[in-house]
Amino acid sequence: MKANRSRNTGPEIALRRELYRRGLRFRVHHAPVPSLRCRPDIVFTRQRLAVFVDGCFWHRCPEHAASPSRNRAYWEAKFQHNADRNRRHDRALAAAGWAVVRIWEHEATGDAVVRVMSALDELAQSEATQVTTSPFATSPPSSISTSLRPPTT
């Protein structure tokens, strides 16, 4: 089992390279919630997005999951524990105000990047909506040119 890496796997590095190439900056294996024993593979701290790149074998991919033929009871309990832990971490991160994206290792890097960028866009839009609908939102300063302001009726 020594050869099974928990971090810096091939799919994870490929995803990080492509995200970085597109100008996105992030933290790697950073604990978003100090009290939670969970370190996502990629963390966007400002946007509060945690990205996990899950291996098909260990996290029971519905397409590629293969159960070992020997010691089946041990492995089924192990896989169930992994799935329960994933759900527990997802709920804890959500309760702390974080969004979670889980990517399978078999997904194409381009598709994974699109999923991450879509999640970042959704978070940015929801944040912008919260700011504009806030009762405490202030009007833009008068130094902004009138062409950038919304039309007044």
The answer to whether position 138 is within a domain reads no
The answer to whether position 118 is within a domain reads yes
Q: Write down the pLDDT at residue 133.
A: 59
How many independent structural domains does the chain possess?
1
The answer to whether position 150 is within a domain reads no
The answer to whether position 100 is within a domain reads yes
- What does the pLDDT average to over 24-35? 94
Q: Write down the pLDDT at residue 5.
A: 65
Q: Residue 146 pLDDT > 70, yes or no?
A: no
The answer to whether position 140 is within a domain reads no
Q: Write down the pLDDT at residue 131.
A: 64
Q: Write down the pLDDT at residue 151.
A: 41
Q: Write down the pLDDT at residue 64.
A: 81
Q: Which position has the higher pLDDT, 130 or 93?
A: 93
Q: What is the pTM of this model?
A: 0.79
In the structure encoding, which two tokens stand for residue 75, read together?
């492995």
Range of the domain at 100: 12-132
Q: Any idea what the CATH number is for the domain that residue 120 is in? A: 3.40.960.10
The answer to whether position 7 is within a domain reads no
The answer to whether position 121 is within a domain reads yes
Which DSSP string do the residues of the chain spell out, in sequence order?
-TT--SSS-HHHHHHHHHHHHTT---EES--SSTTS----SEEETTTTEEEEEE-HHHHT-TTT----SSSHHHHHHHHHHHHHHHHHHHHHHHHTT-EEEEEETTS-HHHHHHHHHHHHHHHHHHHHHHHHH-TTPPPPPTTS-GGGSPPP-
Q: Residue 128 pLDDT > 90, yes or no?
A: no
pLDDT tens by residue, 91-118: 999 999 999 999 999 999 999 999 999 9
Mean pLDDT of the chain: 84
pLDDT tens by residue, 60-84: 888 888 888 899 999 999 999 999 9
Q: Write down the pLDDT at residue 153.
A: 46
The answer to whether position 151 is within a domain reads no
